[in-house]
Amino acid sequence: MSYLKNVLSICGLFLLFFVASSSSVFAFSFSPPPDEKTGAPGEGTCADCHVGNALNVSGGSLIVTIPETYEPNEVYTIIVDLSRAGQSKWGFEMTALDANKVRAGSFAADGAANTQLTETNSKQYIQHTTAGTATGTNDAHSWEFEWTAPDADIGPITFYVAGNAANGDGSFTGDYIYTEQAESTPPVPTVAGVSLEIVGDTTHATMNAVAGVNYTLKVTNTGNMMDTITLEASAEVGIEGSVLGALSDRSVELEAGAGAEVTLKVAGDLFTAPGDYDITVTATSETDKTMAAEVTTTTTIEASPPPPPPTPWDVNGDGTVNIQDLVLTASELGQSGEALTGDINGDGAVNILDLVLVSSHFGEDTKAVQ
């Protein structure tokens, strides 16, 4: 079997020699080279025929310049740089494929006829022309042409290229084959995102609706780019009283992934009725208003304890009505005006009537009354 194989491959080589040497006679030439030799998956390389030197042997280089990212329908300049000291004739072939090995975008041959286009198995190839081999150009050569990106984001695109740094002897020997590939990706789409949370308890109670309660909120930009996030506080519709939610910031500018703390003050006015008051805070991305997050705080306004029953006759407020209270009242006797502790009946003046009131409660325990 192995003998037969050798015979066959030797026959193949002879055939190759024959075709090569008779190319001038039959006007059949391997310049341009056959398609599907770029080294792409499932393809061969120029080294299938250009034998004698190992593929990608050191001493030469093949460099491709492609767009790192592509925008649909955008036109890009592609450069193929091939070099190897001592060589003097040059060739290349390139194709661009998506992840499914399907043709991606379109090459355009350069105006100077150094490159040409071919198609095989629905794949497009660009390669050197006879003029494009730049025969006699020593040590290095490059080709420049355009490529138009596909009309949509089709994911990463790989450019496969093979180059032949040849010696110009008109045969496939003494040549150096290099392969290279480079990937172009679609730009990462920007995504907006917001998260909002209450730091600590989501509920608080207070008896002082005017002073209110402060909540700390943490707003985070969960998107992948800089964003401005707007904040809004809204009270439950129809809630009794007039409890309001006030935010320390109405908008915050945040880097991707960054967060900031914002204070929500829930406070009411003097007439706020006791009860539970829900204030909802909504954080919305300015870039994408469909991206929003919300939290709700519940503030309980507790009823103040009823004021102690008035016992103005306990003038010094020590819990019992005795001679001291009488003395205090007497000390203000004859005075008139507001805020007189001795004005027991509240008529604006301290007189005998007030002394009578204190006396009538003499000995009472005012603590017990409360």
Q: Which amino acid is at 224?
A: N
Residue 320 contacts ligand HEC per CB under 6 A: no
First to last CA, the chain: 117
Comparing CB distances to ligand HEC, the nearer of 21 and 336 is 21
Size of the site for ligand HEC (CB under 6 A): 29
Distance CA 332, CA 349 (A): 9
Instruction: Select from 43, 110, 175, 227 the one that contacts ligand HEC (CB under 6 A).
Output: 175
Instruction: Select from 97, 134, 149, 162 the one that contacts ligand HEC (CB under 6 A).
Output: 162
Distance CA 312, CA 345 (A): 8
Comparing CB distances to ligand HEC, the nearer of 73 and 173 is 173
Distance CA 141, CA 131 (A): 12
Q: Which amino acid is at 347?
A: D
Contact 36, 123 (CB under 8 A): yes
Closest by CA position to 38, among listed 156, 144, 125:
125
Residue 124 contacts ligand HEC per CB under 6 A: no
Comparing CB distances to ligand HEC, the nearer of 70 and 92 is 92
The b/e string for 84-123 (b: 16+ C-beta within 10 A; e otherwise) is: beebbbbbbbbbbbeeebebbbebebbeeebbbebeeeeb
Chain residues 40-79 in contact with ligand HEC, contact rule CB under 6 A: 46, 48-50
Instruction: Select from 61, 118, 137, 171 the one that contacts ligand HEC (CB under 6 A).
Output: 171
Residue 164 contacts ligand HEC per CB under 6 A: yes
Taking the complex as a whole, how short is the minimal distance between the CB of residue 195 and ligand HEC, in angstroms? 53
Contact 82, 90 (CB under 8 A): yes
Window contacting ligand HEC (CB under 6 A); options: 22-30, 186-194, 290-298, 301-309: 22-30
CA dist list (Å): 50 to 30, 44, 87, 114, 262: 11, 12, 14, 21, 70
Comparing CB distances to ligand HEC, the nearer of 167 and 300 is 167
Residue 81 contacts ligand HEC per CB under 6 A: no
Window contacting ligand HEC (CB under 6 A); options: 60-68, 85-93, 240-248, 351-359: 85-93
Could you tell me the two tokens for 223?
């998107």
Residue 170 contacts ligand HEC per CB under 6 A: yes
Residue 167 contacts ligand HEC per CB under 6 A: yes
Contact 117, 147 (CB under 8 A): no
Distance CA 352, CA 176 (A): 127
Closest by CA position to 81, among listed 90, 69, 72:
90
Q: Tokens 């309001």, residue?
A: 244
Residue 134 contacts ligand HEC per CB under 6 A: no
Residue 142 contacts ligand HEC per CB under 6 A: no
Taking the complex as a whole, how short is the minimal distance between the CB of residue 173 and ligand HEC, in angstroms? 8
Residue 93 contacts ligand HEC per CB under 6 A: yes
Instruction: Select from 64, 83, 89, 252 the one that contacts ligand HEC (CB under 6 A).
Output: 89
Taking the complex as a whole, how short is the minimal distance between the CB of residue 47 and ligand HEC, in angstroms? 8
Residue 132 contacts ligand HEC per CB under 6 A: no
Taking the complex as a whole, how short is the minimal distance between the CB of residue 79 and ligand HEC, in angstroms? 16
**Any idea how long the chain is?**
370
Comparing CB distances to ligand HEC, the nearer of 168 and 274 is 168
In whole angstroms, what separates CA 92 from the centre of its chain? 40
Taking the complex as a whole, how short is the minimal distance between the CB of residue 258 and ligand HEC, in angstroms? 50
Residue 31 contacts ligand HEC per CB under 6 A: yes
Closest by CA position to 268, among listed 250, 249, 245:
245
Comparing CB distances to ligand HEC, the nearer of 25 and 323 is 25
Contact 241, 273 (CB under 8 A): yes
Residues that bind ligand HEC (CB under 6 A): 20, 23, 29-31, 33-34, 37, 46, 48-50, 89-93, 133, 162-164, 166-172, 175
